[in-house]
Structure 1
Amino acid sequence: MVKRSKPPDFERMAREAGYRITGIEQLRSNRWLLTLSDGNGRTVLVLAQARSLIGSADVQDLWELVRLRNPATGILLALDGSFSPTAHHTCAELRDQRLHLCTSLPSAAISAVEQSSANGAFASSR
C-alpha cells in the first residue's frame, strides 16, 4: 500500500456516489467514520480503512457502530486494500443484512433500490 500524504477526498467520493456527507470523524491516521445520507434521507455509516488488509476486528468494529447508531446500512470500505478471508467469514457469521464489505463506495441509487427489495440484501462482497 502506498502511504497517503493526505486524507482521501471523501466529499468528492460521496458526491459522485450520490450521497450527502453529514459527518466525518478521523478515528486514527488511517481510519475514518463517515455519516452519509442517501437520496431518501436514510443514514449510511461508512468505516473507511486505508490499509492493505482489512480483518475481522474491523468488521466487528463496524458491527458495534451499526448496533449503537442504527443506520439503514453500514459499509466497511477498504481504501486501496482488500478483505481477509476472516473478515468475510466474520461478516457472514454476524448475519446482519446492514453490513457490507466494499472496495469502492456503492451508488446511493443502488443502495435505495436494494434496500427496498423484498430480502433487503445489498450488493456486497460477502
Structure 2
Amino acid sequence: MTTIGQIAGIDHLSATRLRKAGIKTAEAFVRRTRQSDRLRLLSQETGIDCQKLLDMATSVDLLQLRGIGGRYSALLRAAGIHKMEDLHGFSEKEFREALTAANHEHRIVRRLPSTPSLQTWLRQASEYEGSRRNG
C-alpha cells in the first residue's frame, strides 16, 4: 500500500496536510478526489488548491498499475503518460518506443520495464477504462 508521502508530485507540506485530513494512503486519496464536490471539500479542509489536488490525483492514478513505483511512474510521466487514460490506444510497440525515448532523454531508470510488465500495464489500463465506462 502506497503511503501519501511516497507519491511523486506530493511535497512534504501537502502530505502533512493530507494526513491531518485523515488521508494516509494513495487509495484514500483517490477516493477523496474522485468527485469534484469532494475535491473542493478537501481543498477547503487542507488549504491545498483544487488544481494542485487534481494534479496530484493524476499522479496517483498511475500507481494503480501493478509494479509501478516512483521511478517507473516518473518515466511514464516523462513519456507524456500522466494517467491511465493516456495509455488507451497505445500498442505495445508504441508504448516501448515512448518509454525508450523518454529514458534516453531524461535517464530516469537503469533498466526499462520488461515486455510482460508493459503488456500487463496496457491490459490493466484497458480494464480500468472499461470498468469506468461500465460503472
TM-score bracket, shorter-length normalisation: under 0.3
Q: Give the structure with the higher percent helix.
A: 2
Q: Give the structure with the higher percent strand.
A: 1
Larger Rg: 2
Q: When the two structures are superposed, what TM-score results if normalisation uses the length of structure 1?
A: 0.28
